[in-house]
Amino acid sequence: AKQKGKRRFMFYNNSMEALVKSNLSVELELNKALKNGELVLFYQPIVDLTTSKPIGFEALIRWQHPEKGLIFPDAFIPVAEQSNLITEIGYWVLEAACKALPNFPPHIHISINVSARQFMDPQLATRMKQIIYQYHATPNRITLEITETLLIENIEQVVSSLKNLRDFGLGISVDDFGTGHSSLSKLKVMPISTLKVDRAFIMDLPDNKEDKELTEAILVMAQKLQLKVVAEGVETAEQRDFLVANQCNFGQGYYFSKPVPLDHALAYTERILIK
Ligand code: C2E
Ligand code: CA
Ligand code: CA
Ligand code: CA
C-alpha cells in the first residue's frame, strides 16, 4: 500500500520521482552489498578523558563499494531506514561487532548504533540475544546507541525491548543527546546507562558561553541521575581540558582518532595501552 502511494505521488512531482527511483536503486544495491560482504565496520575509540586511554570503540558502518569506493553511512543508512533493510543491516552490525570483540582487551566494550525502526521488529531483543550467545560474546561488553526520539515516543514495545536487553547486560546509550526533546523525568525512568552529548554542544567550547553553560548543565544533571557521559566530536585539547575540568569522564572525536578499520583500531589500542 505504501509503495502504491509513492507511485501515485510520482505523477505530480518529477524531482520526487527521481528521488524515489534513486532510493529504490540504492536499496537494491545495498541489499546486494549486504549479501556480497561489501559492508564493513570502522571503529572509533571512546576514551577516558583524564588518561586518553580507550575504554571502548563505537562501530560505524561503511560501504566498500567495488566501483565507487568507500561510502559513508549518511548516503545509505537513511535509505535503509525506509524499509526493513535496516533490520537486516542491524543484525549484520551486531554480528560483526561480536566477531571483532575477542580481538580487543577484555575491559574494552563496543558500541553499535541501532535505528529507531529496528525496534519495530518484535523479535529484536530475542534475535540480538541469540546472536550474542552464538558468538559467546559478553553482554556487558556491548552497548547499544539509540536516539532520543525513541525515548520520546515511549512505545511500550520499545521500553520493554530496552529493559529486556538492559537486564541481559547490554549498555544503553542515548546518542546525539541534547538535539531532541527528551524530558528529565523520562531519562530517569528509561533503562539507560550513558548520555552521548552531541557534537553541536562540544564544537564551540570553551569560547561559546551558551554551549559552555548547556554542557555544564547536562554534566551536572547526568551526575545527579548517575549516568555516564561521553562528549562527542572532541577535536581540540582546549575542549578536552574544559570537559575534564567539568567532570566529564569520557570523550570521542578526531582529537583522539578518526574511525579506522579493525586492524588499525587494534594497533591503536595496543600502542596506547602499553604507554
Ligand atoms: P553518530 O552515531 O552520531 O556517529 C558519530 C559521527 O560523527 C560519525 O560519522 C563519526 O565519524 C563522526 N565524528 C566522530 N568524531 C568526530 C569529530 O571529532 N568531528 C567530526 N566532525 N565528526 C566526528 P559517520 O561514521 O559518518 O556516521 C554518521 C551517522 O551514521 C552516525 O552518527 C549514525 O547515526 C549513522 N550510523 C553509522 N553507523 C551506523 C550503523 O551501523 N547503524 C545505524 N543504524 N546507523 C549508523
Ligand atoms: Ca552513535
Ligand atoms: Ca552521535
Ligand atoms: Ca549523529
Q: Give the pLDDT score at 171.
A: 98
Does residue 56 line the site of ligand 1, with CB under 6 A?
no
Mean pLDDT of 48-56: 96
140 CB-side CA count, 13 A: 5
CA torsion through residues 27, 31, 32, 36, sign: positive
Point out which residues pair with 40 in neighbouring strands. Answer: 62
H/E segment holding residue 163: helix 156-168
pLDDT at 185 over 80: no
Does residue 77 line the site of ligand 1, with CB under 6 A?
yes
- The ligand 1 atom at the shortest distance from the C-alpha of residue 115 is 44
Does residue 256 contact residue 235 with C-beta atoms inside 8 Å? no
Dist. CA 201 → ligand 3 center (Å) = 11
d(CA 196, CA 90): 20
User: Quick one: cell of 54?
Assistant: 580507550
Does residue 115 line the site of ligand 1, with CB under 6 A?
yes
Residue nearest to atom 45 of ligand 1 (CA): 113
d(CA 38, CA 34): 6
pLDDT band at 150 (very low <50, low <70, confident <90, very high): confident
3-state secondary structure of 43: strand
- The ligand 1 atom at the shortest distance from the C-alpha of residue 73 is 30
Q: Is the pTM of this model over 0.90?
A: yes
Dist. CA 29 → ligand 1 center (Å) = 22
pLDDT at 113 over 60: yes
Residue nearest to atom 20 of ligand 1 (CA): 233
Q: Give the pLDDT score at 275.
A: 67
Q: Give the pLDDT score at 73.
A: 97
d(CA 230, CA 174): 10
**Which numbered ligand comes closest to the C-alpha of 80?**
1
Closest Cα partner for 114 from 70, 176, 72, 64? Answer: 176
Dist. CA 195 → ligand 3 center (Å) = 10
Does residue 118 line the site of ligand 1, with CB under 6 A?
no
Dist. CA 9 → ligand 1 center (Å) = 32
pLDDT at 241 over 60: yes
d(CA 188, CA 258): 32
Whether ipTM tops 0.90, in short, is yes
Does residue 239 line the site of ligand 1, with CB under 6 A?
no
